[in-house]
Structure 1
Amino acid sequence: MKRFIVILLLVAIPQFVQSQDEQAKKELTRLLDDFLEGAGKNDLEIHDRFWAEDLIYTSSSGERFGKEQLMNGVRNAEEDSGNSMVWSAEDVQINIYDDTAIVAFRLVGEAYAGEKNTYLNSGTFVKRNGQWEAVNWQATKERAK
């Protein structure tokens, strides 16, 4: 009987962990998609939800700042509706490590005027109080091919 229980646990535990990882990947994919949709509209709420209070952000221009400076930038951009972009994620990779996750993807920004920019982004997320939030972010402008 003990052998049966051990075998059952050896089979069930990896499936449970895989199921949790898959659920986390779905949550993070949805969060990223919602964020990118809102970011194109300078949605202050989605930015506030996405970024952790202790965020460390390294921009593609080489500047490092936190959530407060980022949120100030969003507030200022709200007033300038002429720079709207449609953002999407390609080649998304998500690695889960318990309540921490790494999300890497190609960020594609398309302006209504036809301009297109691509960035290689990666973020570290931590699950706090049942919600994923970005605590670290790195954006790198992709080289022209």
Structure 2
Amino acid sequence: MKTYFQACLCVVTLMTAPVAVAADVDDVTAMLHEFLANADKRAAHEKFWAEDLVYTSSSGLRFGKAEIMQGFEGAEESDEPPAVIYSGEEVDVRLYGDMAVVAFKLIGTASNRSATLYYYNTGTFLKRDGIWKVVAWQATRIPPAGD
């Protein structure tokens, strides 16, 4: 009888694992899109980046969350549209337990539509105490065609 219950427990565990993985992929994807839609807001950065973040910019500079947050010091929240509107395409989320690697194409469009820039970004998300946060980020600018 004990073996029967153990077998049932194993089957139930195996059946629910894909659901948990799908939920985590959905959570991380939604988190990314929410961040991009609010990238001009301090609260979005506070929620998205881990305290121990390592960020490597497309220009080769390396910094952490503290430096990102300093960019908001003294700035007031505005109802005006942001100078650049960000979106993500080709989002690829790969889960490894409590870690997720997210690769995507970032599109930055000037709010007046005068210019659009493209980047390939890769982020490493870590789930700590049930909360996903980004611990590493790498941005690479995609050169315009013909460059």
* Shared fold per TM-score greater than 0.5: yes
How many residue pairs are counted as aligned between the two chains?
142
Instruction: Tell me the SS of whatever aligns to 1:94.
Output: strand
1:53 maps to 2:51: yes
* Distance apart, 1:144 and its partner CA: 2.3
Q: Which runs of 5+ in 2 are unaligned?
A: none
Contact 2:81 2:111 in 1 (8 A): no
* Distance apart, 1:119 and its partner CA: 0.4
CA shift digits 1:44-76 (9 cap, x unpaired): 011011000000000000000111111112446
Which residue does 2:67 correspond to in 1?
Answer: 69
Contact 1:44 1:75 in 2 (8 A): no
Partners of 1:50 and 1:69 lie apart in 2 by 14
- The alignment's C-alpha RMSD in Å is 2.4
Contact 1:126 1:132 in 2 (8 A): yes
Which residue does 1:98 correspond to in 2?
Answer: 97
TM value normalised by structure 1: 0.85
Q: Which runs of 5+ in 1 are unaligned?
A: none
Which residue does 1:140 correspond to in 2?
Answer: 140
Structure 1 segments of 4+ aligned residues over 3 angstroms from their partners = 1-6, 8-14, 74-83
TM value normalised by structure 2: 0.84
Normalized per residue, the structure richer in helix is 1
* Distance apart, 1:3 and its partner CA: 7.0
CA shift digits 1:4-40 (9 cap, x unpaired): 963x55643333221111010111111111101110x
Counterparts in 2 of 1:78 and 1:94: CA distance versus 1, 3 Å: farther
Counterparts in 2 of 1:82 and 1:116: CA distance versus 1, 3 Å: same
Identity of aligned residues (%): 40
Instruction: Tell me the SS of whatever aligns to 2:59.
Output: coil
